[in-house]
Chain A
């Protein structure tokens, strides 16, 4: 029920684009939908389609094409470590492995408590500050750079507590 829940936001988003080009709003609307539960439901896709006058399938293919949209639930926080070439040249792979080891999961898996999923991602434009990762959550995205495994584990702790208190 995004239409009601976010009526105001939707209006501002639509205002960005020419009135006959509503379809342009599909990406911002998907972020909006994803801010509810951390992934986009089939229901949301259909609804967004209705708002923009395109089919649910049109919306779904957008979700499928871009990596920052999800159609399935994952951890509350997605820790996305860049292990692309430049970061890897600065130890990102070792960092990623150790981090997973400490969290007792494999790359791509979610911790028991469902709080964090660790993923390996492509270059995040922070190559000089590797090892680094971004955290994607319902609230959005935040960068954490020049990391060590310990500093990263602290961040994970903070996130978990945040989650409890919020």
Chain B
């Protein structure tokens, strides 16, 4: 935060950091200056001209270097001949902004009327209706009626697909360029652009395959009119018809904060369904963005193939059963199995689920396993980034090492945040066996052969030691020595140093060594146990870190782990589906319990299938790659007889006289803590 500038906005004095734009300073003063093209997350362009205000500045007297003063001693303020755009002008000392003079009011009315000359005014059938800046600002500042002849309006495409997911209504577009600038500036994927010029200016995509980008959905959030809509929501519902629930994305270890908009739908027999998923602002995690996976992939949960009641295999046949029948059987078999009970869970489920499942397994002396091929969670718990870490505040003075991960693919929003940190001045060391898009931003690009990621990090460490030993060999040959030295130095000398490590090309064993090497690097460079420094796992699932924290560990040899068990309890994992060879292994077990949303390949082999609830139907907490524990809430009622995983486990427990919380995730949390 540089020095503070004080200025006056509509009579309110405010102090804001140097460089703040008038429009943002006004917000601080409680004055709302209307905008269309301006977006706080993007460079100002001053295109739409909606934010015109009167700006006065004190005049410095050349001789004295003092402000000129009026007779009464007050500082003389000079107003410019023209209105100025509040979105492009940084504050200056003594500035006086007037946002509500007649001239400003007229200007706003004029601009709105201009925008409406080309606008279809179809609010009643528009998806944006009710939450539309153009509609609202027209109510607040617009003219009573347009003097533009209706029959001279341009008639343009109403349903132009820019890609698979995003549709454009050309008549509604007001050419503010937010979407184009978002794709270009924010996510560096300029697959949409302006075509033609003047009044013919249109948003187009000439890319193959069209507007197909990791983050495309965000453009529909920032579009200030109803021009851009998502294929799954357009004409889906009116904003005011929907309730919303706070949730967390379960697709990757970033853990983006979500708002789920739900509404009763005739399609689902009047039941509540999720109509759309929106980002929920959290500057620490996802700012105001989410990736398309998080926005669109939730539909699986509303699928008709969901398991709705327990099933038991009776002479080879899957038969519906009551919870009691199913749970009695499960409890009995688990008890018999005792120490030969093997549990397999994935990071798809919440901490509460993991805790309860872990508890019953252990109290029966059974074994647990984490369905994951990535190691290092224990080290992350130890060397993870300190509490209060906020990548969106990091810039100069920070060095980030990304190793063995294609961030854009595996944790899209982290890709975005690392990119932006670099744009704010952070240094990026990118180490991967193959090129990835993030390389465009890397200070040092280092390539190592598949499998030698750990040696590579060790080489960095070695290059830092006073008397580096000469470990020649693959790593040094490939990752050019000099380059590697400099990278290591950048890392060591940074005030903040963060490592994001993934599992590209690693086995469990080599992954463990990678995590260990990364931890050592952090330790010897003294970047451990500090805010904004430490180790972040780019996990295969949203809550794999939670799995580690709850004592679950991945296993080297899944086959032998699962083979010939007396009882096997598999939750939120589908080994048979992922690895057909394991079918035979699973058949070798005496008694197989599968707790799932769907009848997966694994579930098909089960002796008992227990129907679980999806994240939209229940509450719980997830631990993201930065070890931030985040809570999500139920948005829609449960499907059929399904229960949350933690509750199912608790009921099994109660039948085995193991006392576990099954009422609410919150209570389980209390036990954990």
Q: A residues touching B (Cβ–Cβ < 8 Å)?
A: 42, 45-46, 54-61, 64-65
Q: Which residues of A contact B3 (CB under 8 A)?
A: none
Q: Which residues of A contact B190 (CB under 8 A)?
A: 54-55, 57-58
In addition to A59-B206, A60-B206, A64-B194, 15 A-B residue pairs with Cβ atoms within 8 Å of each other are A45-B206, A54-B190, A55-B189, A55-B190, A55-B191, A55-B207, A56-B206, A57-B190, A57-B193, A60-B193, A60-B204, A64-B195, A64-B197, A65-B194, A65-B196
Complex-state Cα separation, A23 to B479, whole angstroms: 30
Q: Which residues of B contact A60 (CB under 8 A)?
A: 193, 195, 204, 206
Q: Report how many A-B pairs have Cβ atoms within 8 Å.
A: 42
- Smallest CB-CB separation from B197: which chain A residue? A65
Q: Which residues of B contact A46 (CB under 8 A)?
A: 206, 208
Check if B192 is an interface residue, CB within 8 A of chain A: yes
Check if B443 is an interface residue, CB within 8 A of chain A: no
Check if B462 is an interface residue, CB within 8 A of chain A: no
Give chain B nearest CB distance to A143 CB in angstroms. 24
Q: Which of A42, A45, A46, A57 has the most CB of B within 10 A?
A: A57
Check if B205 is an interface residue, CB within 8 A of chain A: yes
Q: Which of B191, B193, B196, B204 has the most CB of A within 10 A?
A: B193
Give chain B nearest CB distance to A40 CB in angstroms. 11
Give chain B nearest CB distance to A20 CB in angstroms. 12
- Smallest CB-CB separation from A65: which chain B residue? B197
Complex-state Cα separation, A61 to B190, whole angstroms: 11
Q: Which residues of B contact A65 (CB under 8 A)?
A: 194-197
Complex-state Cα separation, A57 to B202, whole angstroms: 12
Q: Is the CB of A61 within 8 A of B207?
A: no
Q: Which of B127-144 contact A (CB under 8 A)?
A: none
Complex-state Cα separation, A54 to B190, whole angstroms: 8
Interface 0/1 of B310-338, CB less than 8 Å to A: 00000000000000000000000000000
Q: Which of B259-302 contact A (CB under 8 A)?
A: none
Q: Is the CB of A57 within 8 A of B197?
A: no
A-B CB proximity, top 5 nearest:
A64-B195, A60-B206, A61-B193, A57-B193, A57-B206
Q: Is the CB of B191 within 8 A of A61?
A: no
Contact of B196 among A42, A57, A64 (CB under 8 A): A64
Interface class of chain B by DSSP:
loop
Q: Is the CB of B208 within 8 A of A61?
A: no
- Smallest CB-CB separation from A54: which chain B residue? B190
Q: Is the CB of B208 within 8 A of A58?
A: no
Complex-state Cα separation, A59 to B208, whole angstroms: 13
Q: Is the CB of B208 within 8 A of A56?
A: yes
Task: Give the number of chain B interface residues (Cβ < 8 Å).
Answer: 14
Complex-state Cα separation, A60 to B195, whole angstroms: 7
A-B contact pairs, 9 of them (CB 8 A): A42-B206, A54-B190, A55-B189, A56-B206, A57-B192, A57-B193, A60-B206, A65-B194, A65-B197
Complex-state Cα separation, A71 to B207, whole angstroms: 15
Give chain B nearest CB distance to A25 CB in angstroms. 17
Q: Which residues of B contact A54 (CB under 8 A)?
A: 190
Complex-state Cα separation, A33 to B558, whole angstroms: 57
Complex-state Cα separation, A42 to B195, whole angstroms: 14
Give chain A nearest CB distance to B194 CB in angstroms. 5
Complex-state Cα separation, A55 to B206, whole angstroms: 8
- Smallest CB-CB separation from B196: which chain A residue? A64
Q: Which residues of A contact B189 (CB under 8 A)?
A: 55
- Smallest CB-CB separation from B200: which chain A residue? A64
Q: Which residues of A contact B192 (CB under 8 A)?
A: 57
Complex-state Cα separation, A65 to B193, whole angstroms: 11
Interface 0/1 of B174-206, CB less than 8 Å to A: 000000000000000111111111000000111
Q: Which residues of A contact B205 (CB under 8 A)?
A: 57
Give chain B nearest CB distance to A58 CB in angstroms. 5
Give chain A nearest CB distance to B94 CB in angstroms. 40
Q: Which of B192, B195, B204 has the most CB of A within 10 A?
A: B195
Complex-state Cα separation, A42 to B206, whole angstroms: 8
Give chain A nearest CB distance to B195 CB in angstroms. 4
Q: Which residues of B contact A57 (CB under 8 A)?
A: 190-193, 204-207
Give chain B nearest CB distance to A36 CB in angstroms. 18
Give chain B nearest CB distance to A105 CB in angstroms. 24
Give chain B nearest CB distance to A57 CB in angstroms. 4
Q: Which residues of A contact B194 (CB under 8 A)?
A: 61, 64-65
Complex-state Cα separation, A56 to B195, whole angstroms: 12
Q: Which residues of A contact B197 (CB under 8 A)?
A: 64-65
Give chain A nearest CB distance to B204 CB in angstroms. 7
Q: Which residues of A contact B193 (CB under 8 A)?
A: 55, 57-58, 60-61
Q: Which residues of A contact B196 (CB under 8 A)?
A: 64-65
Q: Which residues of A contact B191 (CB under 8 A)?
A: 55, 57
Give chain B nearest CB distance to A26 CB in angstroms. 12
Q: Which residues of B contact A55 (CB under 8 A)?
A: 189-191, 193, 206-207
Q: Which residues of B contact A61 (CB under 8 A)?
A: 193-195, 204
Give chain A nearest CB distance to B391 CB in angstroms. 27
- Smallest CB-CB separation from A60: which chain B residue? B206
Complex-state Cα separation, A42 to B210, whole angstroms: 13
Complex-state Cα separation, A65 to B195, whole angstroms: 6
Complex-state Cα separation, A64 to B190, whole angstroms: 16
Q: Which of A55, A58, A60, A65 has the most CB of B within 10 A?
A: A55
- Smallest CB-CB separation from A46: which chain B residue? B208
Complex-state Cα separation, A54 to B183, whole angstroms: 13
Complex-state Cα separation, A58 to B190, whole angstroms: 7
Complex-state Cα separation, A59 to B192, whole angstroms: 11
Complex-state Cα separation, A23 to B207, whole angstroms: 17
Complex-state Cα separation, A60 to B194, whole angstroms: 9
Give chain A nearest CB distance to B193 CB in angstroms. 4
Q: Which of B191, B192, B207, B208 has the most CB of A within 10 A?
A: B207
Complex-state Cα separation, A42 to B458, whole angstroms: 48
Complex-state Cα separation, A54 to B207, whole angstroms: 11
- Smallest CB-CB separation from B190: which chain A residue? A55
- Smallest CB-CB separation from B205: which chain A residue? A57
Give chain B nearest CB distance to A54 CB in angstroms. 7
Complex-state Cα separation, A60 to B180, whole angstroms: 14
Complex-state Cα separation, A35 to B179, whole angstroms: 34
Complex-state Cα separation, A56 to B196, whole angstroms: 15
Give chain B nearest CB distance to A91 CB in angstroms. 28
Give chain A nearest CB distance to B197 CB in angstroms. 5
- Smallest CB-CB separation from A61: which chain B residue? B193
Q: Which residues of B contact A59 (CB under 8 A)?
A: 206
Give chain B nearest CB distance to A55 CB in angstroms. 5
Complex-state Cα separation, A59 to B189, whole angstroms: 14
Complex-state Cα separation, A72 to B190, whole angstroms: 23
- Smallest CB-CB separation from B195: which chain A residue? A64
Give chain B nearest CB distance to A70 CB in angstroms. 13
Give chain B nearest CB distance to A50 CB in angstroms. 12
Q: Which residues of B contact A42 (CB under 8 A)?
A: 206
Complex-state Cα separation, A107 to B205, whole angstroms: 30
Give chain B nearest CB distance to A68 CB in angstroms. 13
Complex-state Cα separation, A54 to B197, whole angstroms: 20
